[in-house]
Structure 1
Amino acid sequence: MSLATLQDAKPTVQLVEAESAPGGHQLVNPYRTNKVDKMDLVAMAEEIQKADSFVHANVSNKLQVIAEQVRFLQEQARKVLKEAKDNADLHHVACNMVKKPGSLYHLYCRPSGQRYFSMLSPEEWGASCPHEYLGTYRLEADRSWTPADKLEEKTIDQQMINKILTCSNTLSITMNEKQ
């Protein structure tokens, strides 16, 4: 049932069908038990209308949470795709050495527009730096690139992950010993 169907549904009151002799035996006086007070019908209709309103509000709240999750996941996907594009771009930069994870590489641009990696930092070049300095990156073990301004944050994150993995392994070993 769609949300629109829930909204458009007219509240109706349905009573249980009266059966004067269930199973062939008359148990009570049907005249007294099947009396319907108009005020009872109004109260029942109000209860149904309240229930419909609560169902609608509940569905709306749940759909709102899902919409927020979708927006969050879309933003995460954008970040992942941008990071992948940036990493691929840096892997295609000219380089005359074998790149090793954990090492720092300094990105420069020649007047011709060619970008290249060097092991020499701008400080090591000094005033004789022949080309425009674009940034410093560390090649990670997973072959991703971390800009110099995010190295400390990345190192802290990696330490936290290692700590979690160490605790997780210890917990796993402890649990296996108890079994």
Structure 2
Amino acid sequence: MTSFSEILQVSNEASLVEANTNPSGVQLVNPYRTNKRNSSDLVALAQEIQNADKFVYANVSNKLQVIAEQVRFLQEQAKRVLEEAKNCQTLHHVSCNFVKKPGHIYHLYKRPSGQRYFSMLSPREWGESPPHEFEGSFRLEQDQSWTPVEKLSEKDNDQEMINKILKCTDTLSITIGTDME
């Protein structure tokens, strides 16, 4: 595989088009008058090539920088998705004496023995003090993921926006579909 530096090697050489005094056997112009070169012309041509190489290198570097930022962003997203999946899996394995239903909020407690369990009762519903250490409240979502109560409004707002987008998309596809007939 060719490396980036091999592709964009800056060269100090300038090459000129070969002179052909008789293209297709016909002399069109005086070759001595048209092929005169001044040494400053060659230097200017070499500088122009060097500048072009630098601009190409800078342009490619900028584009690769954008890609590198996108890769870092995607890595962070992947890391967050994996953490969320691990948390959801952990919560699904918590002890529970009832059938969990999507849309309901469940409260996580921890016994002195270290056992964690879900309860339908919130810390307020226990009265003065819950029987065990309260760790948090979570809503079970339709997709079997868990949302901490602190993030419910954010999750609901996101879902509302998604529903609006889907509604617009459905309307748009219906409109487009009828226009094409």
Q: TM-score range by the shorter chain?
A: over 0.9
Equivalent position amino acid for 2:14 in 1: V
How far has the Cα of 1:2 moved from its partner?
3.1
Runs of 4+ residues deviating >3 angstroms:
6-9
Q: Which residue of 1 aligns with 2:78?
A: 77
Look up the match of 1:23. Answer: 24
Runs (5+) with no aligned partner, structure 1? none
Aligned residues: 179
Separation (CA, whole Å) in 1 of partners of 2:150 and 2:20: 81
The equivalent residue for 1:91 is 92
Under a length normalisation based on structure 2, what TM-score does the superposition of the two structures give?
A: 0.95
Partner of 2:60: 59
Q: Which runs of 5+ in 2 are unaligned?
A: none
CA–CA separation in structure 2 for the residues paired with 1:10 and 1:163 = 56
1:166 to partner: Cα distance: 0.7
| Counterparts of residues 25-174 of structure 1 (less than 5 Å) | 25-174=26-175
CA distance in 1, matches of 2:9, 2:159: 54
Code of the residue aligned with 1:80 in structure 2: it is V
Contact 1:3 1:56 in 2 (8 A): no
Partners of 1:12 and 1:2 lie apart in 2 by 21
Identity of aligned residues (%): 65
Partners of 1:26 and 1:114 lie apart in 2 by 98
Provide the rounded CA distance (Å) in 1 between the counterparts of 2:130 and 2:31: 104
CA distances 1:32-58 after superposition (whole Å, capped 9, x unpaired): 111111111111111001101101100
Structure 1 vs Structure 2 CA RMSD: 1.2
The alignment's TM-score, normalised by the length of structure 1, stands at: 0.96
